[in-house]
């Protein structure tokens, strides 16, 4: 039972990674690509790790997997935010794609 | 089941890695390549984990810790470099 659940988690995680890959290739500018890369990527890696944990099922391995998951959750938003800030500051944002620009100095 | 699972995971993760490589090749800016490298590294971490899960061994789990930290350090270093490059 846990094996099948783990296999399902592995396939779902791989599908989310694939979504991230498609988004990174197809989306038009840096912010869109960062968005496409980060969100399904993090959930995809977490699902893959859950699949690994469900198939290994020993406390030592689960501890290591939790460590990896915590690192992912702590570092992925920071890296994405730094990429987004660098993109905005160096003017690589396509303004025709923005609805509102909340960082602009308009008053 | 094991062979089918391994095949499905290999196909999905390989296609993801190829898409990320295509974006890394096409650019156009350093930031796009940083994002693509991040996706590629996370895909590699996922592939290492999937291999461990399919074959039921835990010898490669420390590699996952290293890969998840390496992606963060690499992305931060490259982004700092990209910002300093053009004032």
Q: pLDDT tens across B41-58, in order? A: 889 988 998 888 888 888
Give per-residue pLDDT as tens, A49-64. 888 888 888 888 888 8
Helix (H, G, I), strand (E, B) or coil at A9: helix
Put simply, the answer to whether B58 touches A71 (Cβ < 8 Å) is no
Q: Is the four-CA dihedral A8, A9, A10, A12 of positive or negative sign?
A: positive
Q: What CA–CA distances, in Å, run from B64 to A6, A43, A102, B40, B51? A: 18, 16, 37, 14, 11
Tell me if chain B has a CB within 8 Å of the CB of A16.
no
Mutate to test the interface with A, among B15, B42, B51, B71 (most CBs of A within 10 A): B42
User: Residue A66 corresponds to which tokens in the numbers above?
Assistant: 């939790």
B20-59 residues touching A, CB cutoff 8 A: 20, 22-23, 29, 31-32, 34-36, 38-39, 42-43, 45-46, 49-50, 52-54, 56, 58
CA B46 – CA A12 distance, rounded (Å): 12
In this structure, whether the domain defined by B1-83 belongs to CATH 1.10.287 is answered with yes
CA A4 – CA A1 distance, rounded (Å): 5
Assembly ipTM: 0.84
Q: Is the pLDDT of residue B87 over 60?
A: no
Give per-residue pLDDT as tens, B19-49. 999 998 987 888 888 888 888 988 998 899 8
Give per-residue pLDDT as tens, A6-35. 888 888 999 999 999 998 888 888 888 888
The percent of chain A in helix, strand and coil, each rounded to the nearest 5, is: 80, 0, 20
End-to-end, the C-alpha distance of chain B in Å comes to 55
Q: What pTM was estimated for this model as a whole?
A: 0.86
| Closest CA of chain A from B69, distance in Å | 7
């Amino acid at each position: 039972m846990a094996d099948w659940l783990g296999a399902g988690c592995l396939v779902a995680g791989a599908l989310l990674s694939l979504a991230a890959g498609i988004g990174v290739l197809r989306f038009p500018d840096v912010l869109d690509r960062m968005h496409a890369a980060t969100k399904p990527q993090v959930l995809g890696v977490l699902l893959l790790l859950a699949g690994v944990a469900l198939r290994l099922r020993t406390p030592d391995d689960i501890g290591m997997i939790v460590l990896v998951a915590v690192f992912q959750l702590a570092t992925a938003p920071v890296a994405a935010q730094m990429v987004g800030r660098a993109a905005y500051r160096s003017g690589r944002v396509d303004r025709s794609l923005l609805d509102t620009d909340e960082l602009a100095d308009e008053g | 089941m094991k062979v089918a699972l391994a095949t499905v995971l290999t196909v999905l993760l390989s296609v993801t890695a190829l898409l990320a490589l295509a974006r890394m090749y096409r650019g156009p800016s350093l930031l796009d390549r940083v994002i693509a490298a991040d996706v590629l590294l996370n895909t590699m971490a996922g592939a290492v984990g999937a291999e461990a899960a399919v074959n039921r061994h835990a010898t490669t789990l420390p590699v996952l810790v290293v890969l998840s930290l390496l992606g963060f350090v690499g992305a931060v270093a490259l982004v700092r470099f990209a910002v300093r490059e053009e004032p």
